[in-house]
Amino acid sequence: MMPIVDLLDYYGPLHDDVERCLVGIEIGEDTEYWKRSYLRCLCTFVEARVYLLKLELKTNDHLIDHSELSPQVLAFLDGNEWSVGNNGEIKARMKIVSPVDELKAVIKILGSFYPKLLWDFGSQRWSRVKKLYKSRNGLVHPKKPDDLSIADKEIEDFELFRKDFNTWSASIYCEAWGEPESGS
């Protein structure tokens, strides 16, 4: 398992990228560029965090006890799907899961161990995730000129999501290990 310091070294620069984009938006020069960069950086930030959580969930007795996980959940964490060749040989193959579904599965796994971490997938909170990725998909695969523009209101909504996501993300360790002890 990656030590927490290394995890922050890995994850921290992505946070810095998002912050830099917000500064670019605030300055007001080439705003559309900074908004598009912000959207791409925020999605990368979320996907990296989900990837790291999957790594942590794969480590038995780190956040969870694997004896309570189904084979399907373990296969999801490994990113594998199984196939059988013509000769009967069983092979693992990579399964492509959308970032939204991957986040949903990680939330569900964590929520099954720590109910406070579970999200309501019908809530405003979850709709922000879907809106974030809908905007990102429009940006990456534009079908109309508007897909390349991001409104100020969208940035505000995405920032609400990011704040909530960061708070939730930090609370994982408090749920798993308890509140950190204050220095004596």
Domain span including residue 146 = 4-177
For residue 39, being part of any structural domain is answered with yes
For residue 54, being part of any structural domain is answered with yes
For residue 29, being part of any structural domain is answered with yes
Amino acid 184: pLDDT? 41
Q: Which residues lie closer than 8 Å to 32 by C-beta, 6 or more apart?
A: 148, 149, 150
Give the mean pLDDT of 129-156.
94
For residue 184, being part of any structural domain is answered with no
pLDDT band at residue 1 using 50, 70 and 90 as cut-offs: very low
For residue 62, being part of any structural domain is answered with yes
Amino acid 8: pLDDT? 60
User: What is the amino acid identity at position 43?
Assistant: C
Burial of 106 (0-12, 13-18, 19+ CB in 10 A): buried
Please state the domain count of the chain. Answer: 1
DSSP assignment string, 67-81 = GGS-HHHHHHHHTEE
pTM for the whole thing?
A: 0.83
3-state SS, residue 84: strand
| Confidence check: pLDDT of 180 > 60 | no
